[in-house]
Amino acid sequence: MDLNHVALTVRDREVAAAFYGRHFGLTRRVHEDAHLLILGGDGGHLLALSEGASPATGLPRTNHFGFRATPDDVRAARRAFAAAGVEETEWQDGHGFVRCQVLDPDGYRVEVYGIA
């Protein structure tokens, strides 16, 4: 089995959709109604966004989800995050593993990682 989707409660679906579209390529609106917006990307993965009080504040630092990329793409993503003012929480580049973890607009930790 493959993990197919993640569902998040966010304060503003459009703000979250713009963030995940810009930085993670989730630009295709697969479904949209009054309660749910589902975004899709080229890899077939989905992100479901529901509006409400975001529970992300106070989650342990280990709670996150990630996107796999090449090590060079992770480094490029890090530069793009910095240029956009996205808060970085963790960075690692060594021993065959590159990863950048950032906070989305609601405070969820999102990771981009690559294995050399």
Give the per-residue pLDDT at 56: 83
Distance from C-alpha of 13 to C-alpha of 36, rounded to nearest angstrom: 9
Q: Is the pTM of this model over 0.85?
A: yes
Output the tens digit of pLDDT for each of the chain's 116 residues: 778 899 999 999 999 999 999 999 999 999 999 999 999 998 889 999 999 998 888 889 899 999 999 999 999 999 999 999 999 999 999 999 999 999 999 999 999 999 98
Q: Domain 64-116: which CATH class?
A: alpha beta
Using DSSP, state whether 116 is helix, strand or coil: coil
Distance from C-alpha of 13 to C-alpha of 20, rounded to nearest angstrom: 10
pLDDT tens column, 37-53: 999 998 889 999 999 99
Parallel/antiparallel/unpaired status of strands 88-94 and 64-68:
unpaired
Q: What letters, b where the CB count within 10 A reaches 16 and e where it falls short, cover 57-88? A: eeeeeeebeebebebeebbebbeebeeeebee
Distance from C-alpha of 11 to C-alpha of 2, rounded to nearest angstrom: 28
Distance from C-alpha of 56 to C-alpha of 7, rounded to nearest angstrom: 12
Distance from C-alpha of 95 to C-alpha of 63, rounded to nearest angstrom: 23
Instruction: Find tokens 């989730």 and name the residue.
Output: 26
CATH 3.30.720.120 residue ranges of the chain are: 1-53
CATH hierarchy code of domain 1-53: 3.30.720.120
